[in-house]
Amino acid sequence: MKTVLIIGAGIGGLTTALALAQRGFAVEVLEQAPAIKEVGAGLQLSPNAMAVYSALGIANQIEALSCEPKAGILRNGKKGTPLMMTEMGEVYHRRYSHKYLHIHRADLIETLLLNTKKHNINIHLGMNIKESDIEQDPIQVQIGHTALQGNYLIAADGIRSLFRNPICGESRPEFTGQIAWRGIIPTQSVPKNLIPFAANNWLGHGQHFVSYYVKGGTMINFVAVKEQAQWTEERWDMPANKSELAAAFSGWDSRISQLIEACDESFLWGLFDHAPLPHWTKGRMALLGDAAHPMLPFMAQGAAMAIEDAWVLAACLAKYENDPHLALKRYETARKPRTTFMQSISRQNAALYHMRPGLGRMIRDLKFQAATLFSPALLARLDKIYGVDVTQDYPA
C-alpha cells in the first residue's frame, strides 16, 4: 500500500485524503495549526463541487447542513434594484444533476473530518515542518525530531504554500488592490426576510457586497469587497473595525447597513493573486488548490477547484501507480487549463462588478437585463463552469 503525505487540513487537503483513501492509499495529513477551526465564514458549493462529494458518498451529509438558494440576484449597490435575476434551486439541480449549496466552512470541515476517521486517515496537528527531501523514495518530511515518510507529498497548504518555491522557483502572491470583510449574523437579529433566500450580490463603483443564508437559514453570511491601493498585513483573518466597514458602504441599500449593524464580529483580509504557475509538480510532489492556483472570489470557485483537484489527483495516482512521475504530470495536464480559465473569469468579474458610472456600466446593465429575459443563454454560458463533472471524466 502506497502512502501519501498531505500538507494542510483545509477543504482541499481533507477532500484529497478521502478521495485517496477510497482508492486504497494510506494517508497522513499534516496540519501546522494546533487545532482545526474556522472563523465565521460561508462557502458556496456549486454543482461541479457537489459531484465530487456525491461520488465520495457524503453529499447527503453536506446537504443536511446547507442552504439551497432559490435564485441568484445582482443588484445596484445603492438603489438595491435588481440588475439580473436567475433561477437556481431546482433549475440547477435538473440541469447539472447536483445542487448548488451554501454552507458554513466549519460545517464542511467537520463533515470531512468525521469521514476521515471512518477511513482511518491520520491527522497530525501542530506540525512545524522544517524540511523535506522530495527526491527520495520514499519522500521524507522532517517535523522537529521526527521524520514521516511517504511515496507522494501533496501540498494543499494554501496561497502561501511552503512548497511552491521548491517546486517552481521563487513565486510570491501579489496584492490585487482589493480588501474584503467577512462576517456572519444570526438571522433573528435582523428583520424577517431582510434578504431573499438567494445568492445576493450588490454591485457598485470599486466595491461589491455578497450575502446569503447558511446553517439551515439561521445565520446570514456576508463578504464585502472594496478596492484599496495598499495592504501590508500578512494575516487573512484580521479582526475588522465595524465603523470602517459601515463607512465603506455608507449610502448603499439600507439592507446592507442593517446587516453590518447586526454583525458583532467581522474579519478583514487583503485579496492576493498569482499568475498561473509554470508547473505544479516535481518528482513525487504536487501542489493542489490555492497552493497551485489561487483565485479571486468573484466566481466563488476557489474551493470548488480544490475539490475537483482532489478527485483528479487521486484518480491519476491510482491509474498510474507504477509510474509516479507520469501520474502527477497527468494530474497537472488535466487540471491546469480548467483552473487557469477559472482564474481568468474571476479577474474579469472583478472588473465587471466594480465598473464606474458611465456608458460602460450602462451597457453592462443592459446585458444583465437581457440575461434575465433570456436565461437559457446565460445557463449555456454557465455550463462550462457548473456542468463539468470530473467524476465522470475520471471514474473511480
Instruction: Please compute the mean of the pLDDT values over residues 146-161 and round it to a whole number.
Output: 89
- The pLDDT, as a whole number, for residue 376 is 85
Is a pLDDT exceeding 70 seen at residue 96? yes
> pLDDT for 180-195, tens place per residue?
999 999 999 999 999 9
The pLDDT tens digits of the residues spanning 201-239 come to 999 999 999 999 999 999 999 999 999 988 766 556 788
In the structure, what pLDDT confidence band is assigned to residue 344 with cuts at 50, 70 and 90?
very high
Instruction: Catalogue all structural domains in the chain, each as residue range(s) with its CATH number.
Output: 3-172+274-393 (3.50.50.60)
Q: Give the Å distances, CA to CA, from 289 to 207, 235, 361.
A: 26, 19, 33
Each residue of 257-300: pLDDT tens digit? 999 999 999 999 899 888 888 999 998 999 999 999 998 999 99
For residue 109, give Cα distances in angstroms to 8, 65, 287, 302.
12, 11, 20, 15
Q: What share of the chain is helix, strand, coil (3-state, %, to 5)?
A: 40, 25, 35
Q: What is the pLDDT of residue 68?
A: 98
Q: How many Å apart are CA 273 and CA 353, to the nearest integer?
A: 17
Q: Which of 389, 190, 365, 225 is nearest to 307 (CA)?
A: 389
pLDDT at residue 134 tops 70: no
Active site (catalytic) residues:
212
* Its pTM surpasses 0.85: yes
Q: Where does residue 117 fall: left (phi above 0), alpha (psi -120 to 50 degrees), or beta otherwise?
A: alpha
Burial of 176 (0-12, 13-18, 19+ CB in 10 A): middle
Residue owning grid cell 471512518: 118
Q: Is the pLDDT of residue 130 over 70?
A: no
Cell of 90: 431546482
Confidence of residue 240 (pLDDT cuts 50, 70, 90): confident
* pLDDT at 202 (0 to 100): 98
**Average pLDDT in the chain:** 92
Q: Is the dihedral of CA 289, 315, 112, 139 positive or negative?
A: negative
Q: Note the pLDDT tens digit of each residue in 44-54.
A: 999 999 999 99
